[in-house]
Amino acid sequence: MTRTVRAPAWSLPAPVRTGITALGVQSALALLYLTLTDAGLAAPRTLAVPVVWVTVAVVAVRHAERPAVGRSGAIVSGAIGVAYAVGLAWLTGALGPAMGVPTGLDVVLLPPGWGPVVRYRGAELAVSLLPYRAVGVAALGYLVSLSARDVIGNGLSAGIGGVVALGSCASCALPLVTSAVGALGGAGIGLGAVPSVAGGTYLFGTLAYVLAAWVLAARPLDRYTTR
Handedness of CA 144, 147, 149, 151 (dihedral sign): negative
The domain locations on the chain are: 14-224
pLDDT at 170: 55
Q: How many residues does the chain have?
A: 227
Give residue 227's pLDDT. Answer: 46
- Closest residue by Cα to residue 180 from 113, 98, 119, 89: 89
- What integer pLDDT is reported at residue 187 of this predicted model? 35
Rg over CA atoms, the chain: 20
CA angle 96, 108, 195 (to 5 degrees): 80
pLDDT score at 56:
95
> CA 32, CA 18: separation in Å to the nearest integer?
21
Question: What pLDDT was estimated at residue 226?
Answer: 45
Q: Measured in Å, how far apart are the chain's first and last C-alpha atoms? A: 54
For the chain, 227 residues long, give each residue's pLDDT as a single digit of tens: 455 556 556 678 999 999 999 999 999 999 999 999 998 888 888 889 999 999 999 999 999 988 888 899 999 999 999 998 998 888 877 888 888 888 899 999 999 999 899 999 888 899 989 999 899 999 999 998 988 888 887 766 555 555 555 555 555 555 555 555 544 443 334 444 555 565 566 777 788 888 888 888 887 655 544 44
Pairing of strands 125-129, 95-97: antiparallel
